[in-house]
Amino acid sequence: MAKSEEPGYEQARDELASIASQLERGGQSLEESLALWEKGEVLAQICEKWLNAASERINPDQDS
């Protein structure tokens, strides 16, 4: 995902929840499952980045 195409926190969180639900239901091929997992990893990193930035704004003097 290019930086300019990166989703906001809520969108990334919702997509990640959808992927988790799909993986829990099963029924995908191994390749499809791996692709979903990889997309989920990217979305989780995006969410973490947003949360870290918010935390920094709230607590600018704390070390992460």
Helix (H, G, I), strand (E, B) or coil at 63: coil
Query: Residue written as tokens 């195409």?
Result: 5
**pTM of this prediction?**
0.82
Helix (H, G, I), strand (E, B) or coil at 44: helix
Each residue's pLDDT tens digit, 9-58: 999 999 999 999 999 999 999 999 999 999 999 999 999 999 999 999 99
pLDDT score at 54: 95
Biggest distance spanned by C-alpha atoms of the chain = 47
pLDDT score at 26: 96
- Residue 64 clears pLDDT 70, i.e. is over it: no
pLDDT score at 12: 97
